[in-house]
Amino acid sequence: MTTKKVLKRPEVLAPAGTLEKLKVAIHYGADAVYIGGNAYGLRSRAGNFTYEEMQEGVAFAKEHGAKVYVAANMVTHEHDEEGAGEFFRELRDVGISAVIVSDPALIEICATEAPGLPIHLSTQASATNFETLEFWKEEGLERVVLAREVSMEEVKAIRENTDVEIEAFIHGAMCISYSGRCTLSNHMSKRDANRGGCCQSCRWKYDLYEMPFANQKRSLVARTKSEEPFSMSAVDMSMIEHIPELIQNGVDSFKIEGRMKSIHYVSTVANVYKTAVNSYMEDPENYVCKQEWIDELWKVAQRELATGFYYKTPGEDEQLFGARRKIPAYSFIGEVMAYDEETKMATVRQRNVFSVGDEVEFYGPGFHHFEQTIDVMWDEEGNEIDRAPNPMDLLTIPVSQPVNVGDMMRKKK
């Protein structure tokens, strides 16, 4: 008699660069979000949280049964760690569920000066085998974010040999360097990538030059005018078609990249992965990855999508090189603020320009979608208008199906 394997529901972990994004991510299904504080993070240009914003974010998350983690994953130089103890104590006292750290000095400071605050190991620490996870377990860490270079076979082996919680990236941008530890930005723009200042030098376009001959004054570009410039950049990751394998191999937390992405991105990606996870957990034996989920992710894709290192070493097709696949471009144009069932009218806060005659799509949590044409609309004073050009204006629009507060509008560019 064989014992049926009990599958653990994974956490859907979404990025939240601002308080607004935190609330949107949780509204659209995220079980947890990760944010940045005002120090020790790797996204200096993200909308990092003040202490007061953290308080509000944690309260909102708890009200909805979600968790908030704080990324404090910078590599510290001399004196960077000053004040870290107080910072971690503030996180603990405000109710942060865990802090994500890579630097051993910060880990030690957090463990000794803010006892009771759980510590997760950042992907920056390059954990690629179960012995590493066991080491950090002995240091008191309860979860490890795996390096993005880990294969699916390695994920399976890690789970079979340790009970440490595994967090793994399943969607978003991929860094071309090993676990994000890169100094291109330091050299090219004097912005320290490992202390929050990365200028994404790998995304720049480069020409490839031949070495000059003795009688030449300058190098020659070693490509034809029809070829694209080179980059050192990977395409983005998407594991939507491999949810069963991730769950069966014991990944506890599905991590989505993108603290600097828009609420359009955060809402869409969190919505898709939560829908897929729910579908699998409800009926694993009959689970099917739906094409509409894949299509939905392409609506917010900035680059082509692949599976990273999970199944093979990425080659030319997994890099931003050569001819580009055309990506459907959608514009986030509004958010539903109210809905009147009797009149079937929605009050929408405009985010980008749209006009009467535009084909638009409404979407909401739980993968509720529908499309319609904007036939008429009114501004906040009740004047009928043909075009909505001003961000954050309140507009009234008749809708063909019921909508809810927090539903989003977009249109194809």
pLDDT band with cut points at 50, 70 and 90 for residue 327:
confident
Q: Of 2 and 223, which is predicted with more confidence?
A: 223
Sign of the four-CA dihedral 80, 83, 85, 90: negative
Fold match flag (11-178+233-318 vs 330-412): no
pLDDT (0 to 100) of residue 1: 46
The CATH class for the domain spanning 330-412 reads: mainly beta
Least confident stretch, 144-148, 230-234, 247-251: 230-234
Mean pLDDT throughout 103-116? Answer: 96
DSSP state of 83: T
pLDDT (0 to 100) of residue 126: 92
pLDDT band with cut points at 50, 70 and 90 for residue 323:
low
User: Are the C-beta atoms of 302 and 236 separated by less than 8 Å?
Assistant: yes
Evaluate if residue 217 carries a pLDDT over 70: no
pLDDT band with cut points at 50, 70 and 90 for residue 189:
confident
User: Are the C-beta atoms of 285 and 264 separated by less than 8 Å?
Assistant: no
Provide, rounded to the nearest whole percent, the portion of the chain with pLDDT above 70: 89
Distance from C-alpha of 104 to C-alpha of 110, rounded to nearest angstrom: 10
Provide φ and ψ at 78, rounded to 5°.
-55, 130
Angle ∠(34,173,196) on CA atoms, nearest 5: 60
How far out from the chain centre does Cα 248 lie? 22
pLDDT band with cut points at 50, 70 and 90 for residue 343:
very high
CATH superfamily of the 11-178+233-318 domain: Aldolase class I (3.20.20.70)
Angle ∠(393,399,402) on CA atoms, nearest 5: 110
Evaluate if residue 182 carries a pLDDT over 80: no
pLDDT (0 to 100) of residue 123: 93
Provide, rounded to the nearest whole percent, the portion of the chain with pLDDT above 90: 71
Distance from C-alpha of 356 to C-alpha of 120, rounded to nearest angstrom: 49
The pLDDT tens digits of the residues spanning 167-177 come to 999 999 888 87
Q: How far is CA 25 from CA 92, 183, 265, 402, in A?
A: 22, 32, 10, 22
Distance from C-alpha of 16 to C-alpha of 399, rounded to nearest angstrom: 30
Provide φ and ψ at 180, rounded to 5°.
80, 5
DSSP H helical ranges for 283-399: 291-298
Per-residue b or e along 270-293, where b marks 16 or more CB atoms closer than 10 Å to that residue's CB: bbbbbbbbebbeeeeeeeeeeeeb
Evaluate if residue 193 carries a pLDDT over 50: yes
Mean pLDDT throughout 347-367? Answer: 96
Mean pLDDT throughout 328-340? Answer: 94
Query: What does the block give as tokens for 157?
Result: 């082996």
pLDDT (0 to 100) of residue 359: 97
Evaluate if residue 219 carries a pLDDT over 90: no
User: Are the C-beta atoms of 180 and 124 separated by less than 8 Å?
Assistant: yes
Query: What does the block give as tokens for 102?
Result: 């890579």
Per-residue b or e along 389-401, where b marks 16 or more CB atoms closer than 10 Å to that residue's CB: eeeeeebbbebee
Sign of the four-CA dihedral 29, 34, 38, 44: negative
pLDDT (0 to 100) of residue 196: 65
Distance from C-alpha of 10 to C-alpha of 114, rounded to nearest angstrom: 27
pLDDT (0 to 100) of residue 44: 47
How many helices (H) and strands (E) are present in the chain, helices listed first? 10, 22
Query: What does the block give as tokens for 30?
Result: 């995220």
Mean pLDDT throughout 213-226? Answer: 61
Mean pLDDT throughout 106-113? Answer: 96
Least confident stretch, 35-44, 129-138, 365-374: 35-44
How far out from the chain centre does Cα 388 lie? 30
Nearest one of 24, 40, 43 to 257, comparing CA atoms:
43
pLDDT band with cut points at 50, 70 and 90 for residue 184:
confident
Tell me how far apart the 2 most distant CA atoms of the chain are, in Å.
82
pLDDT (0 to 100) of residue 220: 58
Domain ranges of the chain: 11-178+233-318, 330-412
Q: How far is CA 330 from CA 228, 298, 377, in A?
A: 25, 9, 21
Distance from C-alpha of 402 to C-alpha of 102, rounded to nearest angstrom: 46
pLDDT (0 to 100) of residue 223: 63
The pLDDT tens digits of the residues spanning 273-314 come to 999 999 999 999 999 999 999 999 999 998 889 999 999 988
